[in-house]
Amino acid sequence: MTEETLIITDKGISLQRPSPKIELVPYTSNFLKEKAPPFDFQKTDAIRIGNILAEYVRHNDNSLGLSACQLGINERVFVIKVSPEQIIAYFNPEIVSTSKEESLVEEGCLSFPNLFLKVTRPKEVTVRYQDYTGKWRDASYTGITARVFQHEFQHLEGKTFLNGCSRLKIEKAIKKAKISGITYNLKEVLAYVCR
């Protein structure tokens, strides 16, 4: 059996170990509906939380990012897989600015398996966040990383990619998900849109 190894650098968290069983909270969970409080580096182990999130993303091929609230962790942090080998943890992230230019791209979410909707987001984003040591960092992202950052940030605000989508679009997406074997309660899903 190999030993667990966690590699943390200025560029993010890199993991080399098998994944434990980690469960997502159900899409009806209040964790997904409430704004996450600021991450407190004095009270919470940043490396441990970053490790838990990064492990989940690393071992789930469909995942590009994950917010703490999706695992039932009430902390203002998420991770993004910026490359196959690198996952960055963003503590207390802020969106400083976004581009005026937007793109419409189909998105999914681990909290809503097989539910896909086209979402309009800015193409570029400038952000500020704390790394695992609490040091503030600035970054700018374009393309898929910019989109994933905005998606995960939305989770920390108590929202999901469903916010802003029409009832009709959501109904169509639910019908497609049912074909693939996933059944959603329309009333529960619409609760995200009507808040």
Catalytically annotated residues: 152
How far apart CA 164 and CA 120 sit, in angstroms, is 9
| Residue recorded with tokens 């808040």 | 195
Distance CA 83, CA 80 (A): 9
Instruction: Give me the torsion for CA of 155, 150, 190, 24, rounded to 10°.
Output: -40
Check: CB of residue 154 under 8 Å from CB of residue 165: no
> Any residues with CB less than 8 A from the CB of 141 and at least 6 apart, and which?
124, 125, 127, 149
Query: For residues 10 and 158, what is the distance between their CA atoms, to the nearest angstrom?
Result: 28
Q: What is the DSSP letter of 25?
A: P
CA dihedral over 69, 73, 78, 81, signed as positive or negative:
negative
